A = this chain, B = another copy of it.
């Protein structure tokens, strides 16, 4: 959101908050269940959820002259036609994710949803007939079902192996039912409601309310499905349970989920991959509530956190649209998903932020709704503004005080680079033990990488598409991330419950100068007796881009510290000798993820500023590491102890500091040069860091000196301390540190 837009939006929120204090009070009250809803169910005009009956005339007209809307309606028609041609198939549930019955039931809710849309828009009866007949088949089948034969763990489903999938099914299907409601006879409605919807709602709220009352994205799908079913069936209590838990006391349910699962900046603790997934039921159910129970002012809850969350989610995608693969994430996932269609359209409808039109254009489709039509019209009228990915700090935690995530960006468009620094909470069951790690993107490539999750989604032959054993043994472990590992053990001993108790701390950030962006965070709980503190600074010097990384480890006793950097590319050169494993190689360790790393080469006791240049596509990167006699550099590749070829072969450089108490890792990642394969011209293929020095490493500040080959000297003072209030500027001339050379960095703490 642009700054001015943001201010206007905040003002609007403020006005609403002043005008509607009763509602706000109501939402913060514990007695939700007494909330007023005066509507009589018999009067509900269908459709009522997202697409409203009153919007239909305008939509039918809009399809004729708004290309994006027409394209989207055509796409719905194509999906529906294909499904109608294939015939109605409602198999008895049998297969796990990726298997036939799983995929067929997925296809069914999607095709019913689209067929209902086409019916609404065109009035062509065959589409309503298709939805009706399929719903009647489900109405016959559902009461006969027990729990799914392939169920795993808590929250099983009946139609699918996971209750989560059943909830998704309900979210789509109830919209389809809403869409053909008027087409059905009383008897048909009665059959479908009593045998299907009442039973599935009972399953979620009575038989297995594990998911429903959970403050978790699985819970959101369940409450959205049940809550929307309540609206369509005219059963207010169902919707109230969705809002405030089956106990109707606000101890669970949608309102608590909104409040607890998003930080004030709209960060979602599981990370962008699951935020993308979770955003759909949040935004859809909220929109349905806004249409049907506007007095709840659901979008104003927590200062408009739902729409903020959509904007933050887009910021969590790289310039090419791929989401940053934090925690359990499929790396190929990008903005191009159905979830983002709903999220961007509804948010655009609410905020009018024209940068969203850029994302909507990329998606190439809009919702069949008033919001979708508005977006299509403004895109046609060339009202789109480019979506700007900028340097952002997204605070984590219910109150924004439990660490966070920072994206330091530089450059524009396809060539934009981004350093993503993670100091969030654990992120529940899908979190990784990766505190204070960073990843780096440049020219659309992930250059310093995160593995993401070890999983082949929906590929049946890879353990049914589930998370693989290597997800736990490798992907979650600390050594799989670009952060310090102490004594070859993961943070919190890889114990999720323990990790959930603590969070890293933001120390300070300053993004005012685009040529010098700085962020610092600390963590005192990951390893007993050890305080970790990392300060990342993106600086531009003489047109070159550097990411300066100071990683301090404070420890009274001695330990071994490993700081890995996983890189994407081919090693071009080093300024030090190493011993390469030639005709045999071994795994580097036997547990905590180390068992998956092959040792490819080793440089013991480097005792110098060690530089490694690698190349990805047309671009060069040099990682320079300040080493001493205790520093070994290990080159690794992934894939040891991987009996089923589950892991991707990826390369890493592991900086190993042997038997040290407190230690500061100083590294600089430089992006430089390019290779033009057409004209066969290479420019700046060598890095420019000549030498790194840690001039001083006191408790209050560290002083780093970077000498470049062109004679430039960069002196950098970084203040630190556990209490942010005590952080203060290192001034020139103070602290027996004399500033030299033609470049200075002076980092103030700013609020």
Contact = CB atoms under 8 A, between A and B. Distances in A.
A459 B686 CA distance: 9
A206 interface: no
A584 B583 contact: no
Contact of A583 (B571, B583, B595): B595
Given A338-B678, A461-B686, A582-B642, 10 more contacts: A98-B685, A107-B681, A333-B677, A456-B572, A458-B680, A465-B682, A584-B585, A585-B585, A649-B649, A649-B651
Contacts of A583: 586-587, 590, 595, 640-641
**Identical copies in the complex:** 2
Nearest to A106: B681
B573 A458 contact: no
B645 A458 contact: no
26 contacts: A98-B685, A103-B682, A103-B683, A107-B681, A336-B678, A337-B678, A337-B679, A456-B615, A457-B680, A458-B680, A459-B572, A459-B675, A461-B573, A461-B613, A462-B573, A580-B643, A580-B645, A582-B642, A583-B586, A583-B640, A583-B641, A584-B584, A584-B585, A585-B585, A600-B639, A637-B649
A338 B679 contact: yes
A648 B677 CA distance: 18
B678 A570 contact: no
Interface of A: 98, 103, 106-107, 110, 330, 332-334, 336-338, 456-462, 465, 570-573, 580, 582-587, 590, 595, 598, 600-601, 613, 615, 635, 637, 639-645, 648-649, 651, 675, 677-683, 685-686
Closest 4 CB pairs of A and B: A461-B573, A571-B645, A583-B587, A332-B677
- Residue of A465, A590, A685 ringed by the most chain B CB atoms within 10 A: A685
A461 B459 CA distance: 42
Contacts of A336: 678
A460 B461 CA distance: 45
Contacts of A675: 458-459
B462 A682 contact: no
Contacts of A615: 456, 459
B613 A98 contact: no
Nearest to A614: B645
Nearest to A570: B648
A651 to B, nearest CB: 8
Contacts of A461: 572-573, 613, 685-686
Contacts of A332: 677
Contacts of A570: 645, 648
Contacts of A460: 682, 685-686
A587 B584 contact: yes
Contacts of A642: 580, 582
A587 B585 CA distance: 9
Contacts of A637: 639, 649
Contacts of A580: 642-645
A477 to B, nearest CB: 17
Contacts of A645: 570-571, 580, 601, 635
Contacts of A103: 681-683
A461 B620 CA distance: 12
Contacts of A640: 582-583
A426 B472 CA distance: 50
Contacts of A584: 584-587
A459 B338 contact: no
Nearest to A460: B685
Contacts of A601: 645
B458 A681 contact: yes
A584 B583 CA distance: 11
A458 B680 CA distance: 7
A679 B75 CA distance: 14
A413 to B, nearest CB: 18
A203 to B, nearest CB: 23
A615 B648 CA distance: 12
Nearest to A620: B459
Contacts of A572: 456, 459, 461-462
Contacts of A330: 677
A188 B298 CA distance: 83
